[in-house]
C-alpha cells in the first residue's frame, strides 16, 4: 500500500505543479491529511471501514479528487480519465471504480444538486474537501480563486444567488464575498461524518467572525 500511495503522491505533485494556489498540491496534501484523520476516527465506529482496501480507497480518493478539476478543464470527465489511466494495473478494478466514484461525486454543485452516489469512503473524502473550503484556509482559497478569475472582491449591488441549480452554480460569476453565502457557509450542515461536523463547527465560526469584521471595515466602522 505504501508504494502505490507514494507513486500517487509523486504523480499528483507533478500534475498540479502549475495549478492555481487554491487547487494545487498543497490543497491535495491538506485534504489527504484530513481524510486520514477522519478515517481514523470513523473506522472505530463503522465496521465496513475496517480494512486496508477501505483505507486505500480513502487515501487514493483524497489524492486524486482534483487531478483534473472541471473548473479548469471545462471537461467533467477529465478527472475520471486521468485517474483511471494512472491507476490501471496498479490496484484492483473495484478500488479504481470507488476512486472514480469519489472524483465524480465529491464536488458541491449548487444547493439543489442531488448526489446520486454515496458510500463511507466518499463521505470521508467529501468532508475533508469541504473542510478545506472553510475556516482560515477556506477564506484564503476563496480570495485566491476570485483573484485568479478576476472577480470583484465585494460589490453591495450584486446580491448572492441562493438556491442555484447545478448549471447556474457552474456558470455563476458573482463576487468572492457572495461565494460565502452561496456555498461556504452552507458546508457545515452538509458534513457526512461526526468527525467532520466537529472540525467544521470551529471553522464555520471563524468565517462568521471574518465576515462580521469585513463588513464593519467596509463601512469604515472599524
Domain range summary for the chain, segments of one domain joined by +: 2-218
For residue 192, CA distances in Å to 24, 182, 214 come to 25, 19, 30
C-alpha cell at 29: 496534501
**What pLDDT, on the 0 to 100 scale, is given for residue 20?**
87
In tens, the pLDDT along 147-199 reads: 999 999 999 999 998 887 767 776 777 899 999 999 999 999 999 999 999 99
For residue 29, CA distances in Å to 12, 88, 95, 125 come to 10, 23, 21, 12
**What pLDDT, on the 0 to 100 scale, is given for residue 94?**
97
C-alpha cell at 87: 491507476
Task: Report, as ranges of residue numbers, the positions in the chain whose pLDDT lies below 70.
Answer: 69-75, 109-114, 166, 170
C-alpha cell at 49: 471501514
**What pLDDT, on the 0 to 100 scale, is given for residue 96?**
97
Classify domain 2-218 at the CATH class level: mainly alpha
Contacts of 216 (CB under 8 A, 6+ apart): 222
Q: In terms of Cα–Cα distance, which of 119, 127, 131, 133 is closest to 57?
A: 119
Amino acid at each position: 500500500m505504501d508504494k502505490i500511495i507514494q507513486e500517487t503522491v509523486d504523480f499528483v505533485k507533478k500534475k498540479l505543479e502549475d495549478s492555481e494556489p487554491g487547487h494545487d498540491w498543497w490543497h491535495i496534501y491538506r485534504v489527504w491529511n484530513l481524510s486520514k484523520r477522519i478515517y481514523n476516527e470513523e473506522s472505530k465506529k463503522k465496521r465496513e471501514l475496517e480494512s486496508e482496501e477501505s483505507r486505500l480507497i480513502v487515501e487514493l480518493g483524497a489524492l486524486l479528487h482534483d487531478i483534473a478539476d472541471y473548473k479548469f478543464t471545462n471537461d467533467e470527465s477529465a478527472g475520471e480519465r486521468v485517474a483511471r489511466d494512472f491507476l490501471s494495473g496498479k490496484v484492483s478494478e473495484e478500488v479504481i471504480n470507488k476512486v472514480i466514484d469519489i472524483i465524480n461525486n465529491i464536488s458541491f454543485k449548487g444547493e439543489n444538486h442531488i448526489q446520486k452516489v454515496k458510500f463511507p469512503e466518499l463521505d470521508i473524502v467529501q468532508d475533508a474537501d469541504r473542510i478545506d473550503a472553510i475556516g482560515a484556509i477556506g477564506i484564503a482559497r476563496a480570495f485566491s480563486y476570485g483573484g485568479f478569475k478576476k472577480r470583484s472582491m465585494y460589490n453591495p449591488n450584486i446580491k448572492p444567488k441562493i438556491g442555484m441549480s447545478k448549471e447556474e452554480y457552474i456558470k455563476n460569476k458573482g463576487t468572492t464575498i457572495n461565494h460565502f453565502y452561496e456555498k461556504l457557509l452552507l458546508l457545515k450542515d452538509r458534513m457526512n461524518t461526526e468527525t467532520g461536523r466537529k472540525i467544521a463547527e470551529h471553522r464555520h465560526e471563524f468565517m462568521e467572525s471574518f465576515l462580521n469584521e469585513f463588513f464593519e471595515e467596509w463601512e469604515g466602522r472599524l
